Amino acid sequence: MTEHEPDATGPERKRQLTRAVVASAVGTSIEWYDFFLYGFAASTIFAELFFPNSDPTTGLLLALGTYFGGFAARPIGAAIFGHYGDRIGRKATLIITLMTMGVATALVGLVPTYDQIGIWGGILLTLLRLLQGISVGGEWGGSVLLATEWGDTRGGRRGFLGSWPQFGVPVGLVLGYVGLQIFQPLDPYWGWRIPFLLSIVMAGVGLYIRLGILETPVFAKVLRENKIERVPVREVIKKNWREIVLSALLRTGQQAPFYIFTVFILTYATRTLGFEASDVYLYVIVAGLVSLVTVPFWGYISDLVNRRKLYIVGAALMVAWSFVYWPLLDTRVPALVFLAIVLAAPIHDIQYGPQATFIAESFTGRLRYSGASLGYQLASVTAGGPAPLIAVWLYETYQSSFAIAVYMAVCALISVVAAYLLKDRSRQDYAVEYDEAEPSGR
């Protein structure tokens, strides 16, 4: 038995499935810790450290601009690593993405400030953020496929398995917030840098876990049957452009609100509402802890009901929640602000829990890494990346949170339509090439 020909039956498959799920969850937790850590720092301290000569709003926008760079780079990472993930395998590609992220994040912790090297500090931050984005762009698709392609190829618990890479998001969120909370007060220069430097240690742990995983049975079957595409990205764009576009639109009503709930809220609650940063950190950490339960829960529920219908319900609830969330925040009553921040998590997770599997199922096995990664990461440019920037601009322009609520509701409506148009394949054999089983490609 070679690495590309795993034992697909019996106890060995169950053991590999467990290891694959653990490796996916741990790996994505580390990647998202790195990614969120930068976002939190950009929202709170980077403007002062790297753009001190700007007025507060401009400095914040510049800091968030470097943050957006990571999102802009994610589709590039999706194309690069999607290509290799569909050609050389899921495992090898995931090892590269993890180490790339670990090194880039550790280097962020070593960048000199504006006082030391002037604007070059901001430039170096931006370049490292781009490297982070490229890494995350390749990580997600491989982690989802590593978990789901070791499960049953027809039916089974695919939604639940696919929720574990998503589980890495609240883990990374909590670790990132806690890291800054613990270390930032220790030293004015090195405090905030320590959580970034620790990333290289965490990446080493993730690498150790991933080296023990075999290649997935689905990719092994593609390899064995000699169905590897020469240029998978080009082929999936040609054959499945519709699914790529719908996958990106599907994420709009989940991703834009998420980065408002977790990144923009730091600025809004402290600068506008007058809350202490430590209190807001605590509220968001509690929300992240709630998501540790609700993300896999909704993934599990998606295996029991129609995945597409569940997603539509989640997106529709987000439309309504957009007009509840901001009035609760604007009361400035601590208990109600806490309630708004924490309740946003389970409502958001109705979409996020089943999302990975819903998107991955939209693409046939030999093109799945490329297609799922492109669809998922394109939303980073149109939704997640610009969301905090748009929220800052809307509030500065209209001096009202209602404008942000409308923006979030429109994003959620886009997801409702996209989910309705994207075919539900939750009952289809995951290991069969869709375009062979369905000549029409639909």
Q: 71 is written with which tokens?
A: 């999102």
pLDDT at 442 over 60: no
pLDDT at 60 over 80: no
Q: Which residue has the higher pLDDT, 244 or 179?
A: 244
- Among 50-59, 104-113, 398-407, where is mean pLDDT lowest? 50-59
Percent of the chain's residues with pLDDT above 90: 54
Roughly what angle, to the nearest 10 degrees, separates helices 386-398 and 56-85? 150
DSSP codes, 132-169: HHHHHHHHHHHHHHHHHTTS-SSSTTHHHHHHHHHHHH
For the domain covering 10-421, report its CATH number. Answer: 1.20.1250.20
255 contacts 384 by C-beta, under 8 angstroms: yes
CA distance 377 to 383: 10
The Cα-based distances of 266 to 80, 220, 279, 351, 415 in angstroms read 33, 45, 10, 23, 25
pLDDT band (50, 70, 90) for residue 3:
very low
What's the pLDDT score for residue 376? 94
Digit-coded pLDDT (tens) for 126-169: 888 888 889 988 999 999 999 999 988 887 799 999 999 999 98
Digit-coded pLDDT (tens) for 190-242: 888 999 899 888 888 888 888 888 889 999 999 999 999 999 999 999 999 99
What's the pLDDT score for residue 43? 67
Burial track 256-293 (b if 16+ CB lie within 10 A, e otherwise): bbbbbbbbbbbbbbbeebebebeebbbbbbebbebbbe
Mean pLDDT value across the chain? 88
Q: Is 55 helix (H, G, I), strand (E, B) or coil?
A: coil
What's the pLDDT score for residue 5? 47
The Cα-based distances of 289 to 282, 295, 342, 399 in angstroms read 11, 10, 9, 32
